[in-house]
Structure 1
């Protein structure tokens, strides 16, 4: 089995040679890791596509949602719709070890403004690390088109941050292809996408990007930050 401690470029190249597209990679991942793989889903448009694809491969797959307590109401409503459509999927709401009230006492009422990196560390990075501790691999919906920092993402990645194998089946998909898949398959999706939000995170930190800017530029706008830290070493 390919795992973090035994990463082998030759083996990775061999795997990729036999698995040529997004669905091949997804099927390989579930054959390889079986119950030792987790999908960390934000329930954005890419997430909805991946949930539908994963359901075709493993109807009891483990899906983790990082519930910061700060998401848009539309996001929580979407999760319930997904639960109804895919009742056998194991969707878990992962909550931080520190409540918003405790965080406010320790760091102030709007930590996401004063120190967004710390806020993300407390409410997303640390909870995910604990949630996937027992897994050997995790899946994400990263696409190369989303931003410069994601432009070199591979199908199979050595994740030094969490010491896991990170699988990214949608790296070559465009935004239009994501939306087309949702429309063709009549999948539920977050209505905020129709209001100019290609990337949706916590409500206080998410704005529509400026025309012509990359899809991540509306996250933490004006703070020089486009990643929460989950995909940074």
Structure 2
């Protein structure tokens, strides 16, 4: 199963999977948090049309969102890191767990140089908590390499990238970065923790604690 958020790396992998003839063997999934940029939805439709794939959406449970908004307000995630992580749990983590149920493998667009928290990313890791293998084919790629590939292959990309939105998440939680800022500086920028993550790929301390390097197979 391949989970895409329609960022640069995920678009590169979509191209490789679909054009490489693996589209009928890999399930395409995305997490629709309900607070994505309009450009993401447009790219979603464009990607399905370009590659002839169906990208299944997993949404948060309505009752969980209702309770979250009642408890913290519509933008209450900005009040504290705990409130923000609670929002990420409802809108991302629970839907992800549902999406990955029954999957034998999980393909992601993680790169090791995206942030310090992701520095330990390798090509194949075992997600012991979910009982599957996590595969990150672009783990040793740079952003420049991914961008060059996308331009060479005419891969459809989010126009927000051209406006400085390097790492794109939910609209209220993403801003453009200034020249020289780290790649993920635009995510939850009001928080001071340098290892900011939503929890999809790391544990509560910001490290990749859920997974360990998978043993190489002959």
TM-score interval (norm. to shorter)? 0.7 to 0.9
Q: Distance in 1 between matches of 2:178 and 2:129?
A: 31
Per-residue deviation, 1:172: 1.1
Per-residue deviation, 1:59: 2.2
Which of 3, 10, 22 is residue 58 of structure 1 equivalent to? 22
Worse-matched range after superposition: 43-52 or 218-227: 218-227
TM-score calculated relative to the size of structure 1: 0.79
CA contact (8 A) 1:98 1:122 kept: no
Query: 2:118 is matched with which residue?
Result: 150
Instruction: From the two aligned structures, give the one with the greater helix fraction.
Output: 1
Q: Which runs of 5+ in 2 are unaligned?
A: 204-218
Per-residue deviation, 1:210: 3.6
Pairs within 5 Å for 1:94-109: 94-98=58-62, 100-109=65-74
Q: Distance in 2 between matches of 1:95 and 1:123?
A: 7
Q: Distance in 2 between matches of 1:45 and 1:198?
A: 8
CA contact (8 A) 2:11 2:157 kept: yes
Worse-matched range after superposition: 209-218 or 119-128: 209-218
Q: Distance in 2 between matches of 1:95 and 1:189?
A: 23
Instruction: Pick closer, same or farther for the CA change 1:46–1:122 going to 2, 3 Å.
Output: same
Q: Distance in 1 between matches of 2:131 and 2:85?
A: 20
CA contact (8 A) 2:124 2:133 kept: yes
The structure 1 segments of at least 4 consecutive aligned residues displaced by more than 6 Å after TM superposition are none
Q: Distance in 1 between matches of 2:165 and 2:54?
A: 27
Query: 1:128 is matched with which residue?
Result: 96
CA contact (8 A) 1:147 1:215 kept: yes
